[in-house]
Amino acid sequence: MKYSPVAYALYGEVTLRMRGRDVSGCIVQLQQHGISLRSVRVHRETGQCRICLKDFDEVYRVCRAHRVRFRIEQRQGLPFWRKRVWKRKMFALGALLFVCIIYGMSSIIWRVDVLGVEDQDGVAQIRDAAKSVGLYVGQQRSKLGDPFVLQEKILAKAPDFVWVGLRTSGSVATIQALQKVEGTKKSSTTPHDIVAAEPAVIRSVAATRGRVLVKANQYVYPGQVLISGTLADGQKQVPASGDVFAEVWYTSKVSVPLKVIKSGLTGESVTRDYLLLGNWRIRVWGFKEPHFAASYERDSTTEWSVHRFVLPVQVQHVRLYQATQSAEQQSLQNAKQKALQLASADVQTKVKSDATVLGQSVLHEQVSHGTLYETVLTRVEQNIGVAAAIPAPQEP
């Protein structure tokens, strides 16, 4: 009886190594009984053939009648595979559990990205709005519903945005939002003065409303009225406005090392492979720790997907390069230039408005333990005028 390849896989197949004086006669009689033999090889008193496990009893009787012994060398097919799996049932159960976990993880939102929003307050507002309508890390994809309806709900919860778009790709949800453009702020109608915010020397005054009380090259102190909102004695008061540019002084203490440590790569490297399961990273290859202390890491991650569905299981390949450090001595002149640049950058962090550096002077300079220490005075031109309420008139 002839069997199809599917029948061999279903019923099972064994490879027999036969030995005896009448091996040829045994094989001839097996074929006469209609038993299907595959890969038949006969050499003197030995032979080899492959039979279906369903015909094993008949083959056994014929071989015994011809005094031919045989040994089973290979076992293939579903019955043997099932027996092997049963012996390792815990391993099979773990593999099945792993597949179920992967399927469950692929149906959950693992990351929510917000694009098009620069400030952190806006990002937090979008995330809170998305969480209130059911879009958050850990939510099942089947419970999200229609993306168009969901993005309308998010927009209704975020009043500072004019448009919100939602796109889900596998276990990643991407929210793209467009913030409202702030209109021109209305000028205050409450009468007030323009006063000095800090001590300075006046350079120029450009008043658009109010009465100017200072002039160029005049020293002013904090709180001094620069542009008064009171036009004249006994007249009405108005909100003063204008720009008062003055020279302000800032003192910065900076330090610059004369010996600079630079890093470089030697070319030697080791590789590591990681299995990414959501937010988990499991090392699967490259357990040998490198002997070099300093290293530079460069990685590349796969982007496996089925159509538009991004799989939650990815592979990350990491290469660690050996890095070396070398000391480079810079000149004192270059260190001084660097100190002035650091002082200028320090002043920019202190100035609340646009400012122009007028000049710099070194008040103190010292080199100690390979480091240049300087105290730098920086002269800056900036707008020092701030609004302040008009004080009530004092009774005589």
Mean pLDDT is lowest, of 179-183, 230-234, 382-386, for 179-183
pLDDT at 188: 60
- What confidence score (pLDDT) does residue 253 get? 92
Phi/psi-derived region of residue 376, left when phi > 0, alpha when psi is between -120 and 50, beta in every other case: beta
Which has more pLDDT, 5 or 1?
5
Indicate the angle between helix axes 56-65 and 23-32, nearest 10 degrees: 140
Helical residues (DSSP H) of the chain, grouped into ranges: 5-11, 23-32, 56-65, 78-87, 89-106, 120-132, 147-157, 332-350
Query: What does the DSSP 8-state code read for residue 263?
Result: E
Per-residue confidence band for 143, with pLDDT thresholds at 50, 70 and 90: confident
**302-334 pLDDT tens trace:** 888 776 677 788 888 888 888 877 777 888 888
Q: What is the mean pLDDT of residues 200-221?
A: 90
Average pLDDT, the chain: 84
For residue 183, name the pLDDT band (cuts at 50, 70, 90).
low
**373: β partners:** 255, 366
Tokens read off for 318: 């990491």
Rounded Cα distance between 274 and 320, Å, is 13
Classified as helix, coil or strand, 192 is strand
In percent, the amount of the chain with pLDDT more than 90 equals 13
- Per-residue model confidence (pLDDT) at position 219: 93
Per residue in 52-94, pLDDT tens? 988 898 999 989 988 999 999 888 888 888 888 888 878 878 8
pLDDT for residue 184: 46
pLDDT at 283: 87
Q: How far apart are CA 60 and CA 71, in angstroms?
A: 11
Q: For residue 250, what pLDDT band results from cuts at 50, 70 and 90?
A: very high
- Are 1 and 36 spatial neighbours (Cβ–Cβ below 8 Å)? yes
Per-residue pLDDT band for 355 (boundaries 50, 70, 90) equals confident
Residue 268 has pLDDT above 50, yes or no: yes
